[in-house]
Structure 1
């Protein structure tokens, strides 16, 4: 097991322990978990830029260390409830995700199912793709379906959100239905788009620049624009829309989100760094 994997397991363990322990110890342990979590992703910044060529993930990883250090500091200083709810969400997401990531038989099963469904979707458009294990080939150009192509990370995120909120079961079930299954279906559409775009060379835009950056063949330009740019942007928009749908069923979520976002207002950052306490965001008076 590599050091980055160990750091993820360690942060998950600290999140779970932080949620379960009394406040006196829980907030400090959870804060330590966020520091380790942020450091793990911060150290991945070069990989996402140099190897994955993914600009959105590169930026997210670069911000991970300062953001988590700041949140950890506020957790220890103020024992803020919204940050413990965030920690609980991360713990539930991790518990859901890690078995798929670290048990090859389970992750392989999900990859296999996603490969079969994606192949059927591609060919339903009148194309003639073939699959060799977890690789889908269209017009001689291969795309490998890996665990990240199953949307398990995004699904885990919403499992965590739904699981961490105290609300009636019927509303939690509705929030789950409009998020997790929808994400999986949209991800199949995303995979279908990327494979079709790459196999048919739809986006041969600035191929020489892509070659110089990635070291790949010129044909890779269509994959780059379809997967690393357009599909990522589409996924981000979809997550925003799905988040809105979840909030309609679990409006309690909005109060925690508003409170966490308020910590990043420039004036509140200054207050926190001076050691002052920032008032929690007032709950919204939502109409029933």
Structure 2
């Protein structure tokens, strides 16, 4: 489970990207060199790689998520390579750095800010508000499909756990966590929109396209997982599944297949689709995607031509090193 130290590390990484972005902005505004900004940005990417290395055991062994485990481990060398490229003069990576900073400022308050007592009022933590909202909407969707699990307080005290009882009387609980809210995916697109240099209207339209779609698809996902696990609908090859996930509880088979396999794979497909819709409104995001593809393949791409999207002129701050 990520700890307070991990949260502090995350804020430090986000702050380092923000400092690099400020240094780049100042250099461009004054006509100076971006050398210091590139050095700060490279350091931020190295710290970012260290952050994912710290999280890898949590995803791979605690959460038993192959998809998230592989992605977090792959992010380590990718971050190191990005640091090397940015320091060497690939200034387009400043956009990715700004995006990571913005994503962090969206996501981390929900993860790290506790309830606040002020002026005689008890304000619930943003995390609780989000989790209980998603849990309530998931429960509504489950009930519309004819199932009636009991809503309980979860381990964290939130009203976010649903109790299913099997025909044999076995009790199964399905709990909505922050990772189940779609916040991470929404933060990605908000961060990308915030990072690129484009008119505010098009940025807001891109966010208005991405966020509602992700929210709706996430409710579908949590509903599917809840029903598939609660009703044990995916008890397929239990011995093989339990062996692959290093588990022994046969009732977890449907959960592993519905969440760790089917939902996470489909989530990647959904993100690709949402990305294409966002690009129709905000083609400047192509800069980030092309940089990521370059880091993976070591080849330059012109995705605007491949996807038949308009190519917005590059900002002077991302054209190259001095």
Normalising by structure 1, we get a TM-score of 0.89
Closer/same/farther in 2, CA of residues 208 and 287 from structure 1, 3 Å limit: closer
Instruction: Say whether the 8 Å CA contact 1:99–1:106 is kept in structure 2.
Output: yes
Partner of 2:73: 62
- Alignment partner of 1:178: what SS? helix
Q: Which runs of 4+ in 1 moved over 6 A?
A: none
Instruction: Say whether the 8 Å CA contact 2:283–2:310 is kept in structure 1.
Output: no
1:216 Cα deviation after fit:
4.3
Aligned pair 1:110/2:110, yes or no? no
State how far apart, in whole Å, the 2-side matches of 1:51 and 1:106 are. 25
- String of CA shifts for 1:153-211, please: whole Å, max 9, x gaps: 11111100111122223322221111012111110110000001001111112222343
Instruction: Say whether the 8 Å CA contact 2:45–2:83 is kept in structure 1.
Output: yes
1:112 Cα deviation after fit:
0.9
- Alignment partner of 1:41: what SS? helix
- RCO higher in structure (CA 8 A, sep ≥6): 2
Structure 2: give runs of 5+ residues left out of the alignment: 28-33, 115-124, 153-158, 166-170, 312-322
Instruction: Say whether the 8 Å CA contact 1:11–1:37 is kept in structure 2.
Output: yes
Partner of 1:271: none
Partner of 1:234: 266
Closer/same/farther in 2, CA of residues 84 and 131 from structure 1, 3 Å limit: same
- String of CA shifts for 1:54-103, please: whole Å, max 9, x gaps: 0011111221221111110111111x232100001111110111110001
State how far apart, in whole Å, the 1-side matches of 2:140 and 2:164 are. 12
Partner of 1:5: 7
State how far apart, in whole Å, the 2-side matches of 1:101 and 1:161 are. 20
- Alignment partner of 1:227: what SS? helix
Partner of 1:50: 61
Normalising by structure 2, we get a TM-score of 0.80
- String of CA shifts for 1:97-120, please: whole Å, max 9, x gaps: 111000131101111111111111
Closer/same/farther in 2, CA of residues 283 and 211 from structure 1, 3 Å limit: closer
- Alignment partner of 2:296: what SS? coil
Equivalent residues in 2 for 1:13-92, closer than 5 Å: 13-21=15-23, 22=27, 23-78=34-89, 80-92=90-102
Q: How many residues align?
A: 275
Instruction: Say whether the 8 Å CA contact 2:135–2:160 is kept in structure 1.
Output: yes
Moved more, 132-141 or 233-242: 132-141
- Alignment partner of 1:215: what SS? coil
Closer/same/farther in 2, CA of residues 252 and 202 from structure 1, 3 Å limit: same
Instruction: Say whether the 8 Å CA contact 2:111–2:127 is kept in structure 1.
Output: yes
State how far apart, in whole Å, the 2-side matches of 1:196 and 1:31 are. 45
Structure 1: give runs of 5+ residues left out of the alignment: 269-279
- String of CA shifts for 1:203-261, please: whole Å, max 9, x gaps: 11222234344334101000000000000011111100000000011112224422442
Q: What's the Cα RMSD here?
A: 2.0
